[in-house]
Amino acid sequence: MVYAVKFQENLLRTMLQIENTFFELGRTCRRNCLIICDRGAMDASAFIAKDQWEAIMKENSWNSVELRDNRYNQIIHMVSAAKGAEEYYSTEDHNCRSEGVELARELDSKAAAAWVGHPYFDVIDNSTDFEGKIRRMIGSVCHKIGLDTGDRLLKNSRKYKFLVEGPLPDDSVFPPFQDFEVVHNYLQSNSPNQVRLRKRGQKGHYSYIHTVRRQNQPGGQVIEVKTQITHRDYINLLTQKDNSHFTIFKKRRCFIDNNQYFQLDIYQQPSHPSN
């Protein structure tokens, strides 16, 4: 067991160093550059016990917010064929695949759960054929980077929002989840555009997002440009806070249910008098 934990720790160190090399190359590239990682830092947590994972993070001065939220701009989980497309799941002609369907399902769920909490996490299931699955994955990436694909990709997924009336059920009713502190502040901007800051984190570690929402674009589109910023930039931008808007405090609960990723916002005090 000790060997397995050390293996995962050293594998993760190696992975981070390789990623850092490519990230640095990307930063110095004069052309637009998209870096795609087949695996990510949090994957290792799916294969060892929670206390062992926490010990590894403590030993290396790592934390989940940095490894999961700040390191990658988007996470896409491609659901295993063992969940929903079993007739296509096979260990034949796969030298690195030995697990049966049941174990594959279990490992797939653990791998997905490792990334629960990332602000831009997309789960691509097997509700379509494989070509459709790939198109949905490409469409998700294009949407995140703001690339208009026109009618070249099928739009099979939509984002829905619901108003959930309380009281909420007990925590034990939820699937495995991650809770985050979220603070929204609106900045001064020219109407009808909207500029806002988001601080999001857990256990004293935070990520920061600057969002510009542009209205009245050609074709009636609304375009949002999201940029990850540093803590220093966040503090500096807060001086532009629009005092005609309330600061919004909420707890964001992230979880997966039936191969869909959910984010439940629970508004906290102090809140707007109408809440």
Between these two residues, 145 and 61, which has the higher pLDDT value?
Answer: 61
Q: Give me 190's structure tokens.
A: 């020219």
Domain membership of residue 240 (yes or no) is yes
Whether the ω angle into residue 270 lies within 30 degrees of 0, i.e. cis, is yes
Domain membership of residue 141 (yes or no) is yes
From 96, 126, 145, the end of a domain falls on: 145
- What integer pLDDT is reported at residue 265 of this predicted model? 95
Q: Supply the Cα-derived Rg of the chain in whole angstroms.
A: 20
- What integer pLDDT is reported at residue 221 of this predicted model? 63
Between these two residues, 274 and 180, which has the higher pLDDT value?
Answer: 180
Between these two residues, 161 and 94, which has the higher pLDDT value?
Answer: 161
Same domain membership, residue 138 and residue 184: no
Q: Residue 3 is which amino acid?
A: Y
pLDDT digits (tens, 9 = 90+) for 69-84: 999 999 999 999 999 9
- What integer pLDDT is reported at residue 270 of this predicted model? 75
Whether 112 has a pLDDT exceeding 90, the answer reads yes
Same domain membership, residue 69 and residue 15: yes
Contacts 24+ apart (CB under 8 A), 162-170: 164/264, 168/266
Same domain membership, residue 243 and residue 117: no
Q: Residue 27 is which amino acid?
A: R
Prediction pTM value: 0.68
From 145, 162, 191, the end of a domain falls on: 145
Same domain membership, residue 137 and residue 16: yes
pLDDT band at 98 (very low <50, low <70, confident <90, very high): confident
pLDDT digits (tens, 9 = 90+) for 6-31: 888 999 999 999 999 999 999 999 88
pLDDT digits (tens, 9 = 90+) for 194-250: 999 999 999 999 999 999 887 765 556 667 778 889 999 999 999 999 999 999 999
pLDDT band at 116 (very low <50, low <70, confident <90, very high): very high
Same domain membership, residue 212 and residue 140: no
Same domain membership, residue 132 and residue 33: yes
Q: For 57-66, 85-94, 239-248, which range has the lowest pLDDT when averaged over its residues? A: 85-94
- What integer pLDDT is reported at residue 95 of this predicted model? 63
Same domain membership, residue 78 and residue 31: yes
- What integer pLDDT is reported at residue 271 of this predicted model? 66
Q: Where residue 234 sits, what CATH number does that domain have? A: 2.40.320.10
Tell me whether residue 139 is exposed, middle or buried, using C-beta atoms within 10 angstroms of its C-beta: 0 to 12, 13 to 18, 19 or more. Answer: buried
Of the candidates 62, 72, 73, 74, the one whose C-alpha atom is nearest the C-alpha of residue 205 is 62
Of the candidates 68, 121, 60, 148, the one whose C-alpha atom is nearest the C-alpha of residue 261 is 121
Same domain membership, residue 94 and residue 31: yes
- What integer pLDDT is reported at residue 166 of this predicted model? 83
Tell me whether residue 245 is exposed, middle or buried, using C-beta atoms within 10 angstroms of its C-beta: 0 to 12, 13 to 18, 19 or more. Answer: middle
Same domain membership, residue 235 and residue 101: no
Residues 6+ apart with CB under 8 A from 75: 40, 68, 115, 118, 120, 121, 122
CB atoms < 10 A from the CB of 127, how many? 14
Which CA distances in Å does 143 have to 14, 48, 100, 185? 31, 34, 35, 24
The residue range of the domain holding 181 is: 176-267
DSSP 8-state class, residue 70: I
Domain membership of residue 213 (yes or no) is yes
Domain count, the chain: 2
DSSP 8-state class, residue 163: P
Contacts 24+ apart (CB under 8 A), 22-28: none
pLDDT more than 70, % of the chain? 89
Q: Tokens 């799916």 map to which residue?
A: 46
